[in-house]
Structure 1
Amino acid sequence: MKINNIIKFCLSAGLVFGVATACSDEFLTREPQGQYSPSALQTAKGVEGILVGAYAMIDGQGLDGQDAWNNDIQSWVFGGIASDDAYKGTDAGDQPEQSFIEKWDFQPTSNHIKNKWRGLFKGVARSNDVLNTLKNVTDISDDRRKQIIAEARFLRGLFHFEAKKMWKTIPYIDENTYKLDDLESTKVPNDKDVWPNIEADFKAAMDVLPNTQSQVGRPTKWAAMAFLAKAYMYQGWNISTGAANTAKLQAAKAILDQIVASGKFKLVDNFRDNHDASTRNNAESIFEIQYASSSASGDAANAGVGLAHPYTSPWGCCGFYQPSQNLVNAYKTDANGLPLLDSFNDSDVKNDQGVGLDDPYTPYDGALDPRLDHTVGRRGILFIDYKIHNRDFIRDQTYAGPYSPKKHIPSKAFTGVNGWANLTSNNYRIMRYSMILLWLAECEVELGNLERARTLVNQIRERAANPAGFVQKAIQGSTRDAYTLVTDSKGNPVPAANYVIKPYSTPWTDAATARKAVRFETRLEFAMEGHRFFDLVRWGIAAETLNKYNAVESTKRVYKKGGVFVKGKHEFFPIPQEAIDRSEKDGKPTLTQDPAYK
């Protein structure tokens, strides 16, 4: 690794974390010495700088030679457009590799897949670099040494976990098998179950990390516990059969119960507060990927979702990651304020497909879950605090439909635009308390505690039902950017739509129905956050869900015709051919391709 790359990492991550000690002026102005020398950084300052470099790999932007969205931690390409949440969006000719991913035509030569692998294992390498360098550092306290090891192991567990979600078999690379001169490939075979290694990293971090950190963005004990529970949850079902692994779910439940009992976290009152830069690191947050509050900070702002902005001003590019009609339909509710678990997609929420920019339009007046309008931009509804959504938000409506993504876009005061590469200061809440509650509900269903599961789900629904969090109705002003907020005769905000949402009032007595309700709630709560594809896979229902989705959606988006999700294959992505080629040792690759792709 070049010294100037370490400087780049420190400049970006240091701005994010505010780590003055890790990237001092002296460290940043060190004269380049050509190839990185381990001995040059075997000091307290040096190892702290390398640790910051490892943190910088989380968001996937710290790699030269590849696009930020290929390895974006939000995984909107792999977790979003490969699912039933979203289309690729934009137009037919832009980023054609994503069109293949959307139709589950996963190729070992795909640059997106290759760069995802490359970025995650670079992160593993940086984490191991910290551990190896630290062995020879003497000017550091024992307490800080333990903390650095714990942080590095947390990061190593996180990078391996993200890789394990993507690929059926991966190598586990620790500080003893990591080779400094071979950062992008590995000579370690992918012939073992690495879940125990991932668990061990999170456990080691959990045992040492503090309850709180003085610098936001560094993991706490609770973050390590939550990710350990997540690792158990991802082993909680047989992907082939959908059968529950009760031992893993019991292990997850034990940790999740501890997090709940701690009282350290709570649901914030307003759902939108989990999706705006003005309310970062709130009481619901367990671990957030930190981004800068101004585009002036350059690399510290989030470019990974740079393409996934509306095509209208102030962004003007690029129109990717458009929500599907299926997702929008999922937010319909019945007369009791409950989701339509089985019939939600029988009819469509009204949209403005084919309606002219200046033509009159009245939005859908049926009952809706209010989380829809915090998740999806749709015609006639105020888009955060910018302007009322119209078809000028969309690059090519006939190709990718009438909707825009919304969650990752902060309010106007925190938006920066840098040419076509839109930047956002909005943190990515990769781990928050609502996840803990819904994972716990999953566990309780499978362990027979249906009423506890209902209570947990109702906490989520009651928060969503808070009228103070509803999107307010707005009336179009004299210009496209102008609008007036609507209030009633008492000055109270008028909701933008017919929001009807209530908790489940009837006791749950049937496990199958309870399971469906919990999974549906998980979709509603975390839609368009890059989790959906991986949730369907871990539950063992990806093939049936996605093929059913595509059969209907391909009648609306013609390019989706012919897409087939093959059970036993498309749950995982192929190992990049380049990684296999570079793993050669003694004339033979050490990495083995997933048999489904041979």
Structure 2
Amino acid sequence: MKNNNFLKVSLVTGIVFSLAVACSDNFLTRDPQAQYSPTALKTAKGVEGVLLGAYAMLDGQGLDGQAPWENDIQNWVFGGLTSDDAYKGTDAGDQPEESFLEKWDFQATNGHIKNKWRGLFKGVARANDAINTLKEVKDISAERKAQVLAEAKFLRALFHFEAKKMWKNIPYIDDATFNLNDLESTKVPVDPTAWAKIEKDFADAASVLPDKQAQVGRPTKWAAKAFQAKAMMYQGFDVATGAANTAKLTAAKALLEEIVNSGKFKLVESFRDNHDASTRNNQESIFEIQYASSSASGDAANAGVGLAHPYASPWGCCGFYQPSQNLVNAFKTDANGLPLLDTFNDSDVKNDQGLKLEDPFTPYVGNLDPRLDHTVGRRGILFIDYKIHNVDFIRDQTYAGPYSPKKHIPSKAFTGINGWGNLTSNNYRIMRYSMILLWLAECEVEIGSLDKARTLVNQIRTRAANPAGFVQKAIQGSTRDAYTLVFDSKGNPEPAANYVIKNYTAPWTDKTVARKAVRFETRLEFGMEGHRFFDLQRWGISADVLNKYNDVEATKRVYKKGARFVKGKNEFFPIPQEAIDRSEKDGRATLVQDAAYN
């Protein structure tokens, strides 16, 4: 599946090759043919190639010695299985480094942590390389030069932003401190002003980028403003205490309102439209990581989530990133169609743990938020357009539970299988309008109007309640892959479960309850999208939430017994020891480990 009008995130090297071969008297003075040519890069065409090399790092691929999921932009490893959304999944012996991450045993020698650092700072290096190359390009228009600089600054800020979520203290490497000859090392000290520099790069980009790009996949000014606001939201609460930072929330609120008032974006009608390849780059999308797939090549495929596919055919690999029972329980609703903010985990949504394929099973009949079945694959419910979910989907149910991830998996028409891998062309909606609305609701709770926050949350819930977006009921056919869709007597699709979801009608008057409702809605809307660990981190509530979660989960998953999240430490990851070792300059390391890990 190819779309020629989008920026493919593929294994672009950013290196321009000189392919001309000629016989002449001056051939000895020419740059080596078919080799890296610094001179060739200092052209309009060359700098565009260098810029594409920076874009290529968004998909987490292209680095020797590491697997794509270790630096996947979707953060299912670091933002998902480390949270209450998901288990590592699969079985105990596969990718054991992730088992340590799931139990918050963060070590500076963990290869996944090391390679996340490598990937993000390689992205920073490529963005800086584009900026420095641009300075020496002569055959480029002033307008395009400004655009290339803005795109490179956007990417530099995005890579640094992703790093700042991971590590408490990071260096900020700009084009002046960047060293082209030392891409693998970070010989710049950590920078206490990193957040301010991230904001400035996004703001600089926003001042130049257009309202709309001719080629999707390149950022607009609205994407830059949205990420600038996101950077402020990540400073909006004290990680240690959870106290609100009024100044940052006020600044973020102004940007978020500007995006809303622009009228450029709106919620799509169906929640699923944010999670299928057939509806990529829609009216809700602000910035997406672009992918493509075919059965012949992995180029530009979304291989970073290759492991996080069900064990069943047609994928066959690998069963990682399985939703937790806690997440499934969060989608229960009361008689008024509202979330059970405090009691959702008191009892479990029915599952098929321990049952065989031939055993009879009737799915949970209680009230559910319809977003559950777009987020989680569960027994007896149609899994997108493939087959009805059953025990075949799970590699080791005893170890990792009965559920499968769903959001990142596109419909049949957009999935390719290449060797061991699952090559999906499903874009990652890293920034979409529903995020803007819920961040704005957070701001209203803390520094504005509680009832405006309620109105914003209700916009999200109204879309979720649209029956046209419900998963349809299906009846098992004569084979495991066969099913029949069910319609009611009027020919309307019959919902797969008892979906009951309604808006908050009573005015919000209690700030504590309003805050809890907004944060709960955020979990429901973005579950299994790699944000949960970092949301808990920025709200300053990680230890309380995750230890309470583990107390219950340890009764279901034996390997979770004894796991504890250490407040003041596990909110961030340790700087990789290899990065510290490689940062030696003039006989001493320039990077210093987070004190919590010393």
Shorter chain as denominator, the TM-score bin is over 0.9
C-alpha spacing 1:80/1:214, structure 2 compared with 1 (3 Å): same
Alignment of 1:155-166 (within 5 A): 155-166=155-166
Q: CA deviation at 1:135?
A: 0.6
> Structure 2 vs 1, CA of residues 23 and 198 (structure 1 numbering), >3 Å: closer, same or farther?
closer
Q: Distance in 1 between matches of 2:16 and 2:38?
A: 17
TM-fit CA distance, 1:358: 1.1
**Secondary structure of residue in 2 paired with 1:258:** helix
Give the counterpart of 2:7 among 17, 20, 24.
Answer: 17
Work out the CA distance in 2 between the residues paired with 1:30 and 1:318: 45
1:77, 1:23 → 2: CA distance? 26
Distance in structure 2 (CA, Å) of the matches to 1:30 and 1:111: 42
Q: Secondary structure of 2:74's partner?
A: coil
Distance 2:470 2:294 in 1: 27
Shift of the 392–29 alpha-carbon distance from structure 1 to 2, 3 Å rule, reads farther
SS in 2 for 1:528: coil
Asked whether the 8 Å contact 1:54–1:123 carries over to 2, the reply is yes
Distance 1:523 1:123, change over 3 A: same
Structure-2 separation of matches of 1:134 and 1:448: 44
Distance 1:19 1:358 in 2: 43
Per-residue CA distance 1:13-56 (angstroms, 9 max, x = gap): 99961699x99998585797697443231000000000001000
Secondary structure of the 1:108 match is coil
Q: Do structure 1's residue 426 and structure 2's residue 426 form an aligned pair?
A: yes
- Which residue pairs with 1:50 in the alignment? 50
> Is the CA contact 1:295–1:301 (under 8 Å) kept in the aligned structure 2?
no
1:246-265 equivalence runs, <5 A: 246-265=246-265
- Cα deviation, residue 65, structure 1: 1.6
Q: Residue 506 in 1 paired to residue 506 in 2?
A: yes
What CA distance in whole angstroms lies between the structure 2 residues aligned with 1:108 and 1:542? 20
- Secondary structure at the residue paired with 2:430? strand
**2:435 aligned with 1:435:** yes
Q: CA deviation at 1:136?
A: 0.6
Find out whether 1:201 has 2:207 as its counterpart. Answer: no
- The DSSP-based 3-state class of the residue aligned with 1:286 is strand
Contact 2:18 2:34 in 1 (8 A): no
Query: What pairs up with 1:146-545 in 2 under 5 angstroms?
Result: 146-545=146-545
Structure-2 change in CA distance of 1:25 and 1:392 (3 Å): same
Structure 1 residue 296: Cα displacement: 3.3
Corresponding residue for residue 85 of structure 1: 85
Which range moves more in the overlay, 288-297 or 195-204? Answer: 288-297
Q: Given the superposition, is the C-alpha separation of residues 26 and 195 from structure 1 closer, same or farther in structure 2, using an over 3 Å criterion? A: closer
Identity of aligned residues (%): 79
Aligned partners of 1:278, 1:176: CA distance in 2, in Å? 42
From the superposition, tell whether residues 14 and 137 of structure 1 become closer, same or farther in structure 2 (CA, over 3 Å): farther
Q: Which amino acid aligns with 1:122?
A: K
The offset of 1:537, in angstroms, is 0.2
The alignment partner of 1:417 has SS state of: strand
Q: Does the 8 A contact of 2:88 with 2:322 survive in 1?
A: yes
Give the total of aligned pairs. Answer: 586
The one-letter code matched in structure 2 to 1:46 is G
SS of 1:422's equivalent?
strand
Q: 192-201 vs 29-38, which deviates more?
A: 29-38
1:406 is displaced (CA, Å) by 0.1
Per the TM alignment, residue 294 of structure 1 is displaced from its structure 2 partner at its CA by 2.8
Unaligned 5+ residue runs, structure 1? 1-11
Aligned partners of 1:186 and 1:379: how far apart in 2? 48
Distance 1:36 1:571 in 2: 42
In 2, Cα distance between equivalents of 1:428 and 1:228: 19
Letter in 2 for 1:466: N
Post-superposition CA distance 1:136-190 (Å, at most 9, x none): 1000000000000000000000000000000000000000000011102121101
Q: Is the partner of 2:59 in helix, strand or coil?
A: coil
Deviations 1:53-87 (A, max 9, x none): 10000111121221000000000000000000000
RMSD of equivalent CA atoms:
1.9
Q: 2:14·2:50 contact (CA, 8 Å) conserved in 1?
A: no
Distance change >3 Å, CA 71–CA 344, structure 1 → 2: same
Structure 1 contact 16–300 (Cα < 8 Å) conserved: no
Report the equivalent of 2:27.
none
Counterpart CA distance in 1 for 2:93 and 2:246 is: 46
Q: Secondary structure at the match of 2:536?
A: helix
8 A Cα contact 1:367 1:499, kept in partner:
yes
Rounded to whole Å, the distance in 2 between the matches of 1:367 and 1:542 is: 28
Which amino acid is 1:243 matched to?
Answer: A
Secondary structure at the aligned position of 2:552 is classed as helix
User: CA 1:550–1:28 in 2, change beyond 3 Å: closer, same or farther?
Assistant: farther
Check conservation: 1:167, 1:572, Cα contact below 8 A: yes
- Other structure's SS at 2:516 match: helix
2:145 alignment partner in structure 1 = 145
Q: Partner residue of 2:25?
A: none
Worse overlay, 38-47 or 377-386: 38-47
* Partner-residue secondary structure (3-state), 2:459: helix
1:419 Cα offset (Å): 2.1
Over 3 Å counting, the alpha-carbon distance change for 1:19 and 1:394 in structure 2 is closer
2:92 maps to a residue whose letter is A
Alpha-carbon offset, residue 448 of structure 1 = 3.6
Give unpaired runs (5+ residues) of structure 2: 22-31
Q: Deviations for 1:401-456, whole angstroms, at most 9, x for unmatched residues?
A: 00000000000111111122211110000000000000000000001410100000
Shift in alpha-carbon separation, 1:24–1:193, aligned structure 2, 3 A: closer
SS state of the match for residue 288, structure 2? Answer: strand
Shift in alpha-carbon separation, 1:187–1:440, aligned structure 2, 3 A: same
Amino acid at match of 1:234: Y
The question of 1:97 aligning with 2:97 is answered: yes
Aligned 8 A contact 2:434 2:460 in 1? yes
Structure-2 separation of matches of 1:66 and 1:457: 40
Distance 2:280 2:14 in 1: 26
Maintained 8 Å contact 1:13/1:53: no
Residue 129 of structure 1 pairs with residue 129 of structure 2: yes
CA distance in structure 2 between the aligned counterparts of 1:53 and 1:16, rounded to whole angstroms: 15
Letter in 2 for 1:17: L
* TM-score where L is the length of structure 2: 0.96
- State how far apart, in whole Å, the 2-side matches of 1:540 and 1:29 are: 55
Write the distance in 2 (CA, Å) between the matches of 1:335 and 1:234: 35
Q: Is the 8 A contact 1:295 1:425 kept in 2?
A: no
Q: Larger deviation: 290-299 or 336-345?
A: 290-299
Distance in structure 2 (CA, Å) of the matches to 1:16 and 1:214: 9
Question: Which amino acid letter does the alignment assign opposite residue 581 of structure 1?
Answer: D
Q: Which amino acid aligns with 2:107?
A: Q
